[in-house]
Amino acid sequence: MYKSIEDFIIDWNEEASNTIKVFGSINDDFMNKKVNKNVRSLGRIAWHITQTLTEMPAKAKIIPEDILENKHIPESFKTLIEIYTKHSEELVILIKKNWKDSELEGIIELYNQKWKRNKVLSILIKHQIHHRAQMTVIMRLLNIEIPGIYGPTKEEWTKFGMKPHE
């Protein structure tokens, strides 16, 4: 769990950059493509990640309202990235403004449960990592090149002139 807002911001900025990297790797032709009737489209998952930037923080009283609630999925990943970036940057500003390090162990009500504030920060990061991982599996199934996040992908190993791990 986070002991300081600054530690969260360092992680957040890295993970936000990784999320934008994944979003930016997808052609708009794949926005609504589904690999299975029980699996969300890439656009829907990306929009869910983006909507969470206002949904969870609004419930946690970090931001005043959930302005992305009930909004439709943008028609392009370019627009989606712009919206994600705007709300990601605003989230950082408002966390710095509204929460203090000394309050991170404090309890708030969220989703009919009692959470420490530092858990909210941790879940915000884990949530986007979780859904970003779902996206990369779908991307692989759709033969979309996946960008390296925590290390090289199969395609990147090949570009480096190395044999990819099987």
Q: Which pLDDT tens digit goes with each residue over 141-160? A: 999 999 999 988 888 888 87
pLDDT value of residue 67: 96
Q: Where are the domains of the chain?
A: 5-159
Cβ–Cβ < 8 Å for 35, 96: no
Enter the DSSP assignment of 100: -
* DSSP element (H, E) containing 113: strand 113-116
pLDDT value of residue 130: 98
Domain 5-159 coded CATH 1.20.120.450? yes
How sure is the predictor about 163, in pLDDT bands with cuts at 50, 70 and 90?
confident
What does the pLDDT average to over 108-112?
94
Instruction: Provide the percentage of residues in the chain whose pLDDT is more than 70.
Output: 98
